[in-house]
């Protein structure tokens, strides 16, 4: 059997979590899908998937192999589309899910240019946060801002990075004070934006203790988290693109700049690579271009007279790295709410 076809079939088995579902998507019989994977395993000399009557799962080698071949398959598909001219004239309605703030900052200002480039493309933008079920929401494509790749059942293309910032309102800082180092976050009210820091990560990496403070709110809505911070309810880590205007207008201030965590990824996510409409491919390429020109939000933080900061330190405590120190303290400060919810 053809090696490239075998790679595509294996990719479909992983993304759709089984032989039967992959067969339906590819229009093949289940036995044909199984044969393709069997031959691929013989060629590689290693087992790629575990098979049992109830489910199919990847071996460690299979997961590693899948991660390596997915970008190559995406490049091949793109080259094929360009050569055939399939993506030369996107037309029709594209149902796009995205956080409100992302759409307002990175899509709405460029709509006129998008219309001039693709006059027959119509955007139907709906509010959507990281982790939402795309197919169930009736979306063709979604934009996720996350620290980790979306589930394997989806296809994800990273468009850019989103810098994160720890921030609070001046009223909150006036009332509660500004933390001088990450350990002091335990005495503050924490607003946990879960699309940035999934709850599973907190409960897995931090042993619940009895911190001096606790999270006052947990939400996967960027709009809700930002509104809570602006109201003075607490401290929150948010993408710079969501709060850039508020930093410039001094409605928010940044905290602990020396400890800021690494940037998160901005991903275009869709159910299946082979069935993404031409409108979706066109928008992905357009956003990649605009995000590359706009950077990760550092330009907002670089405006010295516009961005107030209340950072008082330049070194992590107890010899810890800056990123690790802030990550540990933020996650510890939110443990109390996690423990209270689980009991």
Q: How confident is the model at residue 307 (pLDDT cuts 50, 70, 90)?
A: very low
pLDDT for the residue 199: 33
Q: Cα separation of 260 and 327, whole Å?
A: 9
pLDDT for the residue 252: 95
Q: Which two tokens stand for residue 32?
A: 């044909």
Other CB atoms within 10 A of residue 341 CB: 10
What mean pLDDT value characterizes the chain? 77
Q: Which two tokens stand for residue 275?
A: 């069935």
Q: pLDDT per residue over 267-296, tens digit each? A: 898 877 766 888 998 999 999 988 887 644
pLDDT at 330 over 70: no
pLDDT at 193 over 80: yes
Nearest CA-CA partner of 194 in 241, 129, 150: 129
Q: Which two tokens stand for residue 8?
A: 């595509």
Pairing of strands 253-254, 164-168: antiparallel
Average confidence (pLDDT) over 120-128: 90
Q: pLDDT per residue over 229-251, tens digit each? A: 999 999 998 888 888 889 989 99
Q: CA 86, 92, 96, 102 torsion: positive or negative? A: positive
Q: Which two tokens stand for residue 100?
A: 């409100």
Q: Which of 38-47, 102-111, 294-303 has the highest mean pLDDT?
A: 38-47
CB burial of 302-324 (b: ≥16 within 10 Å; e: otherwise) equals eeeeebebbbebeebbeebebee
104: DSSP letter: I
3-state secondary structure labels for all residues of 148-186? CCCCCCCEEEEEEEECEEEEECHHHHHHHCCCCCHHHHH
Asked which of 140-154, 194-208, 215-229 is least confident by mean pLDDT, the reply is: 194-208
Q: pLDDT per residue over 65-80, tens digit each? A: 999 998 899 888 877 7
pLDDT at 36 over 50: yes
Q: How confident is the model at residue 260 (pLDDT cuts 50, 70, 90)?
A: low
pTM value surpassing 0.75: no
């Amino acid at each position: 059997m053809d090696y490239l076809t075998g790679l595509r079939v294996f990719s479909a088995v992983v993304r759709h979590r089984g032989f039967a579902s992959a067969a339906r998507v590819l229009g093949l019989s289940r036995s044909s899908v199984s044969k393709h994977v069997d031959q691929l395993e013989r060629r590689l000399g290693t087992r790629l998937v575990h098979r049992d009557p109830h489910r199919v799962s990847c071996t460690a080698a299979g997961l590693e192999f899948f991660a390596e071949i997915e970008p190559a398959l995406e490049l091949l598909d793109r080259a094929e589309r360009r050569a055939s001219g399939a993506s030369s004239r996107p037309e029709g309605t594209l149902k796009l899910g995205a956080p409100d703030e992302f759409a307002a900052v990175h899509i709405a200002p460029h709509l006129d240019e998008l219309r001039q480039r693709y006059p027959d493309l119509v955007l139907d933008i709906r509010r959507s946060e990281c982790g939402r079920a795309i197919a169930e929401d009736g979306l063709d494509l979604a934009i996720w801002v996350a620290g980790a790749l979306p589930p394997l059942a989806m296809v994800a293309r990273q468009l850019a990075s989103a810098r994160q910032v720890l921030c609070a309102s001046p009223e909150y800082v006036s009332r509660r004070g500004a933390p001088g180092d990450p350990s002091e976050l335990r005495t503050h009210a924490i607003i946990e934006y879960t699309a940035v820091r999934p709850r599973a990560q907190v409960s897995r990496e931090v042993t619940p203790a009895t911190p001096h403070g606790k999270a006052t709110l947990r939400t996967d809505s960027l709009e809700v988290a930002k509104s809570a911070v602006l109201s003075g309810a607490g401290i929150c880590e948010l993408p710079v693109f969501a709060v850039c205007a508020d930093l410039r207008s001094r409605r928010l201030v940044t905290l602990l700049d020396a400890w800021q965590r690494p940037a998160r990824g901005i991903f275009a996510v869709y159910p299946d690579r082979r069935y993404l409409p031409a409108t979706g491919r066109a928008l992905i390429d357009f956003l990649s271009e605009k995000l590359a020109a706009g950077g990760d939000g550092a330009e907002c933080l670089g405006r010295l007279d516009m961005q107030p900061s209340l950072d008082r330190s330049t070194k992590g405590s107890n010899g810890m790295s800056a990123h690790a120190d802030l990550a540990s303290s933020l996650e510890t400060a939110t443990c109390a709410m996690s423990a209270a919810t689980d009991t």
